[in-house]
Structure 1
Amino acid sequence: MDGIIDCETHYFSEGFLEMLRSRTTPPRQEVHGDLRRYFCEPSSPEVSVVYPSIVEEKLLDLGDSRVALMDAHGIAAQVVSLTSPGTDVFEREVSLKAAAAANDVLGAAVARYPGRFIGFATLYPFGGDESASELERCVTELGFRGANIHSHVGDRYLDDRRCWPIFEAAQRLGVPINIHPTLPLGSMVAPYLGYGWTLSGPGLGFGHEAAVQVCRLIFAGVFDAYPDLQFMLGHCGEALPFWMYRLDFPYIKPWIDLTGEHPKLERKPSEYLTQNFWYNISGNFFNPAVLACLHAVGSDRLMFGSDHPYETYEEACGYINTMPVSEPDRLKIASLNARRLFKLDGPSASC
C-alpha cells in the first residue's frame, strides 16, 4: 500500500538533547557507550528506560534518510512531534524558549521537504496566551497542522484553566492536539514501582495516565466550551474505547449517582470520545485492540500510526496490509481520515 499517512512519529533536536544531557534531575539523559538511559518524570526520579543509540540517531534525523525510509514503505507523509518529555515539564521560561527552538528545527524540515512532514508544535501547556501565540506562529508561519502535549505536567493536568488559551487557539485555527502519554504522576505511581519501565511505562502506566487526562478534559467541560476542538490519541485510544459505556453510567443510569455529583455536561462522555477525538493504531498492532477501537469510534475516526522510531515500519506497515478490515476501511485508516483531519490535498492511498 502506498500513500499512507503516518499519524505518529517523533524527533529530537540537537539543542533539546543537549539540554537533557546537561541536567542532573529529570527529565535528563545519561550516555553509556551505545546505550542511552532516560529519566523522564521529575516526580519519579528512580524510573528510567534504556534504549540503543540507533533510536536516538533516527530521532535526530529529519533529512534524506528519514524520507528514504518513508519511500521504502509507502509513507506519503509523517506527523512529526518532539519526543517525550517534549518541553512540557521544564520551568516556564525554559520551556517557552525550548519549545520555540524545537519548533523552528521542525519547521525547517517541513519547509525542506514539502508535503512529507506534518509538523506538530511542542508547547508549554501552562503558558497561557504565550503558548497560544506560539501555536498560532507554528500554524500560520511554519505550516504546522497541530500540537503535541504530554498527559500531565508535574501535578497539573490539562484541565487546568491556564491551558485553555491553547484550546481556544486550536479550535480557532482548526488544528488538532495530540495527547502523548508519559509516566503516571509520582503521587499515583507507587503501585507501578518495583518493576522498572515494564509496568509504569508503555505496558500499563502510559495508557492509564493518558486515559485519566482525557476524562479530566471531558468532565471539566473543555468540549462544551470548545465544541469543535479536536484531539488525537495513539495506541488505539489508550483503552478508552473499551471504557466508553462505563464512563456513561452516571448519565444513563440515574441510580449510579443519586446525589448528583457527576459533572453536568451537554453530552455523554462517549459522545465526546466519538465526536472530539481521533485515534491511531501506533504501537498497538493487535487485532482485538484495533477492532474494539474501530467498532467503538467508527471507521471515520481511526488512522494509521507507527510510533517511529520506537516501532519499525516492517511491523507497522505489514500490519496495516493484513489487518482484518474491509478494503474501504483500510483506505480510510491508511490515509483518507488523516487527509480529512489535516486538510491535505493530493492523491489518496491506493493498494
Structure 2
Amino acid sequence: MVEIIDCETHYFTEPYLEVLRGRTTPPRQEVHDGIRRCFPEPSAPEVAFSYPAVLEERLLDLSDARIETLDEEGISAQVVSLTVPGTEFFEPKLGVTQARDCNDMLGAAVSRHPERLIGLATLPAFDGEASAAELERCVTELGFRGANIHSHVGDMNLDDRRLWPIFEAAQRLGVPINIHPTLPHGSMLGPYLGYGWTLAGRGLGFGHEVAVQVSRMIFGGVFDAYPDLQLMLGHCGEGLPFWMYRLDFPYIKPYIDVLGEHPKLDRKPSEYLTDNCWYNCSGNFFTPALLACIHAVGADRVLFGSDYPYESYPEARQFLETAPLSAPDRRKFASENAKRLFGLGS
C-alpha cells in the first residue's frame, strides 16, 4: 500500500479538560459516568454534544501508544490539532494562556516523534495580534506546520478585520490554516434546533457553517489581500465544491448584478476555491462526494483525513484503498499532496 498521511486528527490535554470542567458557561464540559457532555458555543449555552469516555481517552493520548496505533493501522504520520471546543472561545486572557499551554504539550509530543506527528497551532483568536504571535512561535520554535481555527470566533465571522493578522502571519510563514467546523452561532441556530446535535452538528450545521464562513472570506477580500494564503477544509470541502458555479453567478452572468452590488474581487469565487483551498475527506467516506470534489478542484488538491479518534481507521483505510482512482491519483490523495501542503521533506 502507498504511504499514508492522515491530515485530520485531534487531541485534548488533561489541564485543558480541567479548565473546561471547572467552568459554568461555555465552553465547558460535564462528566456523567461514562459519558462526556460538551457545551462549546457561548451564544447557545444549552446546546451540547455527548460522546463516550473511551473516545476522550484516545484524544488525551499523545504518548507512544498513539504511535503504536499508527503502526498498527499503516499510517505514516498524523496532522494533529486541538479538538472542539477550541481556545478561541475563551475570554481573551484565558484564551492566550490555554493556547500556549496546549501548544507546548503538543509540541513536546511532536519533538518526540517528529516524523510521525505534524502539529497545528491552536490560537486565541479573539486577539488577532496575539494569535499571529502565537502562530509564529509555534512554527519557528515548536516546528508546527500550520494552524487550526474554528469556523467562527465569538460574534466575529472569519472575514472580520480583527482576524487578518492571523492570515498575514500564515502567508508570511508559508503555512496553511485548517478551518474546523463548530456549532453555528446562536443567531443562526433557530432552524437547526429540536433534533439535538443531529442537525445542528455533523448533519448539516457543521458543513453550512464552514461553507458560509469561507465564502465570507472570499467575498470579504481576504484572499485578495493575502493571495498565497492556503486553507484546508474537511469533509470533502463542506459542500463548497458543489456550490462553485452558483457562487460565481454574479461574476459570470452580468444580468444577475445589474446594480453592481456584488463585491469586487480579483478573481471569480471558484478560483479562490481551486487556488487557495485544499480538501480532506475526514468523516465523509462517501465516494460521490470525493469524486465531485476531485472533478471540481482537481486531484492535486485532495487529501486523506480520518478525523481520528472520532472515526475508525479501518473504515477510513478501506475508503482510501477502494476509491475509484488511478494509481497516481491515489498516491496524491494518500500522501503526496499533504507533503506539498505542509512542506514535508523540505
TM-score by length of 2: 0.99
Distance 1:128 1:207 in 2: 25
Q: Is the 8 A contact 1:192 1:200 kept in 2?
A: yes
- CA-CA distance at 1:297 after TM superposition: 0.6
Unaligned runs of 5+ in 2: none
Distance 1:244 1:20 in 2: 38
Moved more, 215-224 or 119-128: 119-128
Q: Is the 8 A contact 1:2 1:75 kept in 2?
A: no
Q: Cα RMSD between the aligned structures? A: 0.9
Distance 2:224 2:71 in 1: 41
Q: Which portions of structure 1, spanning 4 or more consecutive aligned residues, are displaced by more than 4 angstroms?
A: none
Distance 1:149 1:131 in 2: 10
- CA-CA distance at 1:117 after TM superposition: 0.6
Which residue in the other structure is 2:79 paired with? 79
Which residue in the other structure is 1:319 paired with? 319
Task: Give the match's secondary structure for 2:202.
Answer: coil
Distance 2:264 2:85 in 1: 33
Q: How does 1:6-17 map to 2 (within 5 A)?
A: 6-17=6-17
Task: Give the match's secondary structure for 1:285.
Answer: coil
Which residue in the other structure is 2:41 paired with? 41
Matched-pair identity in %: 71
- CA-CA distance at 1:128 after TM superposition: 2.2
Task: Give the match's secondary structure for 2:155.
Answer: coil
- CA-CA distance at 1:154 after TM superposition: 1.9
- CA-CA distance at 1:343 after TM superposition: 1.2
Which residue in the other structure is 1:237 paired with? 237
For the pair 1:120 / 2:120, whether they are aligned, the reply is yes
Distance 1:173 1:74 in 2: 31
Q: Is the 8 A contact 1:36 1:50 kept in 2?
A: yes
TM-score by length of 1: 0.97
Which residue in the other structure is 1:191 paired with? 191
- CA-CA distance at 1:319 after TM superposition: 0.9
Distance 1:119 1:175 in 2: 11
Distance 1:292 1:126 in 2: 35
Which residue in the other structure is 1:286 paired with? 286
Q: Which amino acid aligns with 1:22?
A: G
Which residue in the other structure is 2:24 paired with? 24
Which residue in the other structure is 1:332 paired with? 332
Task: Give the match's secondary structure for 2:299.
Answer: coil
Task: Give the match's secondary structure for 1:336.
Answer: helix
Q: Is the 8 A contact 1:2 1:76 kept in 2?
A: no
Q: How does 1:171-210 map to 2 (within 5 A)?
A: 171-210=171-210
Distance 2:260 2:155 in 1: 27
- CA-CA distance at 1:189 after TM superposition: 0.4
Which residue in the other structure is 1:349 paired with? none
Q: Is the 8 A contact 1:2 1:73 kept in 2?
A: no
Task: Give the match's secondary structure for 1:145.
Answer: coil
Which residue in the other structure is 1:148 paired with? 148
- The aligned length equals 346
Q: Is the 8 A contact 2:3 2:331 kept in 1?
A: no
- CA-CA distance at 1:325 after TM superposition: 1.1
Q: Is the 8 A contact 1:176 1:229 kept in 2?
A: yes
Unaligned runs of 5+ in 1: 347-351
Which residue in the other structure is 1:162 paired with? 162
Q: How does 1:62-77 map to 2 (within 5 A)?
A: 62-77=62-77
